[in-house]
Amino acid sequence: MTGREAHLWQLRPGDVRGTAIPGLYLSFLSEAERGRLSRFRFPRDRDAFLLAHGLKRAALSTLFPHVAPRAWRFTTGPFGKPEAVGPGERLAVRFSITHTDGLVAVLTAPGVDCGVDAEPVRRPRDVAPLIRTTLTPPERARLEALPPQARAEHFCGLWTLKEAYAKARGLGLRLPFDRIGFRTGEDGRIHAHFGPGMDDRTDRWTFARWTVDRRHVVSAALRRDQHGEVRIVRQTAPPVPKSPAGPSDPAALEVAHYCADGLMGAAYRRITD
């Protein structure tokens, strides 16, 4: 990973079902993660957890090839924000994970706070009860000026930006979402406004948002460092890290062969449209 790039990795569970990736990613999980995986009742939830946490480990080892995926160790901050501590060393990397119906994503960043959130844009939802407690007055005005059928998708875009920022701060829903405002400028960039009591400045942050495969919205928040803005690189294929001890195991070789044949690349080009 270069010092000026963050990486956004995305997977659709349906695209990897029947491939070697679920088995490979399962081999990456720690005993504690496997224990959590076994407690999910529904296959859809198990798949999302497995792919999100396997993707997290694969992405980190792709960026730091000397660390095997299963060797990563993690700690949590006072409010539960996860941090990578490596196998006995603290590496200059931060990450954030999200999974929702039909999509998982991991954002890795070069030692700066980061957050990612994803939501299905077509999920039926009544946003009226949430508007007053989660939107700023300008956001409410812009949303209420939209046709009723467009409001849920617009709200989803705002919600994921707020969630991504809250994850990056490590404070989650403790932040007052009705004091965190966003709008899209004519240049297509996301502009933020923080209200009183936020103890932060908007010029410290970069925000981005995408619609993925016309089914999900994904938003990212990155804290700027002393050198300014960090560029986000969107990866279009699942990470398959090389083993630091030598040749990859058979499952990894199978995945690499599958990707080289172009089948996986075609599937993942779809999710970045």
Q: Which residue has the tokens 């990450």?
A: 95
CATH number for position 263: 3.90.470.20
The total domain count for the chain is 2
Span 142-189, pLDDT tens digits = 999 999 888 888 999 999 999 999 999 988 778 899 999 999 998 889
Measured in degrees and rounded to the nearest 5, phi and psi for residue 67 equal -110, 120
Same-domain status, 263 and 181 = no
Same-domain status, 7 and 79 = yes
Span 118-127, pLDDT tens digits = 999 877 667 7
Q: What is the DSSP letter of 232?
A: E
Beta bridge partners of 83: 75
Q: Is 206 helix (H, G, I), strand (E, B) or coil?
A: strand
For the entire predicted model, the pTM comes to: 0.85
d(CA 218, CA 272): 11
The reported pLDDT for the residue numbered 270 is 35
Domain around 149: 116-224
Same-domain status, 199 and 268 = no
